[in-house]
Structure 1
Amino acid sequence: MSTKAPLAPRQLKPELEREFARSTALGYESADEAGFVRCLSHGYPTPLARWHYHDEYELHLITATSGKVFVGDWIGPFQPGQLVLTGPRLPHNWVTMDLPEGGVANRDLVIQFFHEPLARASETIPELSEVLPLLERAKHGIEFFGLSDAAEAHWHKVKQSHGLRRFTAFCDFLGDLAACTDYRLLSSVQLQSDDDDASLDQIDAVLNRITDQLAEPHSAAGLAAELGMSESRFSRFFRRATGNTFTDFVNRVRISRACQLLMDTDQQVTHICYEVGFNNVANFNRRFLEIKGMTPTDFRRQSLTRFRGSS
């Protein structure tokens, strides 16, 4: 009779980072140093490198090594100079694949900040409203290009400043990010509408229907009829609001949900295929490959790497 201890359950969900875990021994600033803007730097390996999320935005600059970055359902490469902004509660991790013996003393330069102070301040300080579209995009994760040298200089200026001067240096950094047009979103779907409130309410209702009832069939013709539009008018309206055709958008939402299930559950790929609304596995595999650049099985296998470096 076997006496082996039972295997511990495999970790699937990201870890919530709590305030009490933010020790100065790990690179965090002390409470009297950090206010609204918190700076952090650390090497690798470290207990901080794990699949996790938190309530703050995180601006993350890599200064050494290369490997794989995991942001939400995004899996991609990173190397020195990568600059990413993640939104609140968006899981993430950077896993080094070319670690030299003994590790590296400095790999990550990080700034964390909360949403509410900026949002509230922008109501009375119009200049701050320039950053709101950037924060909206950050819900999906943003990778910036061509800013690595400037970002490192900005980080050190913020780190070396205190009080009002730190906030000023931070706003200068945000200004560069808000003005940057060379970036990509690390998410499949992004709402881009700048229509009037009534149109936004209409598109919001459509998007909620799709996301809440993924397994149900959805047609542009049916939704157009519900909104009292012709199908061609609805298609133009939908594309202007989301940046995607109706069919592409539905496929991307379904694939995004499939990614979440592949990462967070042990459900079989076939079961996930039907749960997110595809009616056959071949079509699911084809669409997944088009959107994510790998098969569902490869995505699940690679996603397990996000736990490397965890404490």
Structure 2
Amino acid sequence: MTIKMPPPRQIKPELERDFTRSPALGYEPSDEVGFVRCLEHGFPTPLARWHYHDEYELHLITCTSGKAFVGDWIGPFQPGHLVLTGPRLPHNWVSSDMPEGGVPQRDLVIQFPHEPLVQAAQTIPELRDILPLLERAKHGIEFFGLSQRAEQHWHRVKAAKGLRRWSAFCDYLADLAACTDYRLLSSVQLQSTDDDRSIDQIHAVVSRITDRLAEDHSARALAAELGMSESRFCRFFRKATGNTFTDFVNRVRISRACQLLMDTEHPIVHICYEVGFNNVANFNRRFREIKGMTPSEYRKLSLTRFHGAA
């Protein structure tokens, strides 16, 4: 008797390409799209899946609630949830309170590419105001207190064409760039600094940590390598990362653990040691402190990032 094996479990995000962006799914026709692309869709839809793309995506939820997945972050969403994701950052929103038959509108989305904005900022000084925003978007940004204004912005952009669309889009970006009530969602983020030597030093330290997670990283040893006292190094590190040295190492390790929990079927004990924790109890405690759940709960929740499962 032949035993039929189940298909392998999907663990990787799907790359969204231009040829899949059909107007039947809510996209604007390709011959009408310029720099800014608008998208409106309901739920369920084939578009709601664990995926990524080369563009930034500004995503506003207008109805239903559920779980959002942005990189290694898992958290709740409800109407008014506004997030900017950077290029190739995997994401998905999965509603859990839909009426029978779904909803006709759940997502108001704007997509735009990276390179033209960065190139334009080299010659148009006003555009440089948005560069810190784009840098933060690598980790996904959730904005607070902007949902009503964001919906108005989306409709203005959608209704406009040509230069007026660009103007409406810039107005939207200006509000986001000026917003101070936000949080970064996925992983850890370095803070900006004007000192090139300090940038080089901190990136060398961070690279050492991320490339050799399983090793024992000591603030005292790293301080000595940089010719600093331990206390000076700790102040320097906190200013550059926004975290104490120990917290940063733990967050990087937990972020890597999240990736392994989502993308592999490795046992949790194996993952614990692979990312540099020396006992499972400490790993579980740190994981819960940072992610608000246990590793096993995180793995179980992550399976719902596909479509119903999405």
TM-score, L = length of structure 2: 0.98
8 Å CA contact 1:57, 1:88 repeated in 2? yes
Paired residue secondary structure (1:209): helix
Contact persistence 1:192–1:240 (CA under 8 A): yes
Task: Tell me whether 1:37 sits opposite 2:36 in the alignment.
Answer: yes
C-alpha contact (below 8 Å) 1:71/1:91 kept by paired residues: yes
The yes-or-no answer on 1:137 pairing with 2:136 is yes
Residue 49 of structure 1 corresponds to 48
CA distance in structure 2 between the aligned counterparts of 1:306 and 1:38, rounded to whole angstroms: 24
Shift of 1:110: 0.2
Q: Secondary structure at the match of 1:188?
A: coil
Query: C-alpha distance in 1, partners of 2:93/2:228?
Result: 46
CA contact (8 A) 1:15 1:51 kept: yes
For residues 180-219 of structure 1, the aligned pairs below 5 Å read 180-219=179-218
Quick check: 1:283 aligned with 2:300? Answer: no
Quote the offset at 1:238 in angstroms: 0.2
Q: Does 1:158 align with 2:147?
A: no
Name the structure 2 match of 1:270: 269
Question: In 1, Cα distance between the equivalents of 2:192 and 2:130?
Answer: 17
The Cα of 1:101 is off from its aligned counterpart by: 0.7
Q: Letter of the aligned partner of 2:34 in structure 1?
A: G
Equivalent pair of 2:58/2:110 in contact (CA under 8 Å):
yes
> 2:186 corresponds to which letter in structure 1?
S
Alignment of 1:89-238 (within 5 A): 89-238=88-237
CA distance in 1 between partners of 2:27 and 2:3 (Å): 40
Q: Are 2:303 and 2:309, in contact at CA under 8 Å, matched by a contact in 1?
A: no
CA distance in 2, matches of 1:33, 1:42: 18
SS in 2 for 1:49: coil
Shift of 1:102: 1.1
Distance in 1 separating the partners of 2:79 and 2:38:
19
* Structure 2 Cα separation of the partners of residues 119 and 263 of structure 1: 32
**Partners in 2 of 1:232 and 1:74 — Cα distance?**
32
Contact 2:160 2:168 survives alignment (8 Å): yes
Could you list the per-position Cα deviations for residues 225-268 of structure 1 after superposition, in whole angstroms to 9, with x for gaps in the alignment? 11111111100100000000000000000000000000000000
**Structure 1 77/32 Cα, relative in aligned 2: closer, same or farther at 3 Å?**
same
1:228-267 equivalences in 2 (<5 Å) = 228-267=227-266
Structure 2 distance, partners of 1:144, 1:176, is 10
Map Cα deviations across residues 60-97 of structure 1 (whole Å, 9 max, x no partner).
Answer: 00011111000001111111111000000000000000
Partner Cα distance (1:241, 1:195) in 2: 11
Deviations 1:259-286 (A, max 9, x none): 0000000000000000000011110000
Q: Give the CA RMSD over aligned residues.
A: 1.0
Q: Provide structure 1 residue ranges, at least 5 long, that are not aligned to the other structure.
A: none
Whether the 8 Å CA contact 1:46–1:309 is kept in 2: the answer is: no
Q: Please say if residues 67 and 96 of structure 1, whose CA atoms lie closer than 8 Å, have aligned partners that are also in contact.
A: yes
Q: Would the aligned equivalents of 1:61 and 1:110 in 2 still touch at CA under 8 Å?
A: yes
- Structure 2: runs of 5+ lacking an equivalent: none
TM-score (norm 1): 0.98
Kept in 1: contact 2:89–2:139 (CA 8 A): yes
Alpha-carbon shift at residue 310 of structure 1 (Å): 6.7
What SS is found at the alignment partner of 2:190? coil
SS at match of 2:39: strand
Q: Which amino acid aligns with 1:76?
A: G
Q: Deviations over 1:166-208 (max 9, x none)?
A: 1110000000000001111102311003141111001011111
Please tell me whether the aligned partners of residues 62 and 82 of structure 1 are also in contact (alpha carbons under 8 angstroms): yes
Q: SS in structure 2 opposite 1:225?
A: helix
User: Matched residue of 1:139: which SS?
Assistant: helix
CA distance in 1: counterparts of 2:129 and 2:141, whole angstroms: 17
Q: Which structure 1 residue ranges, 4+ long, deviate > 3 Å from structure 2?
A: none
Question: Bigger shift: 184-193 or 61-70?
Answer: 184-193
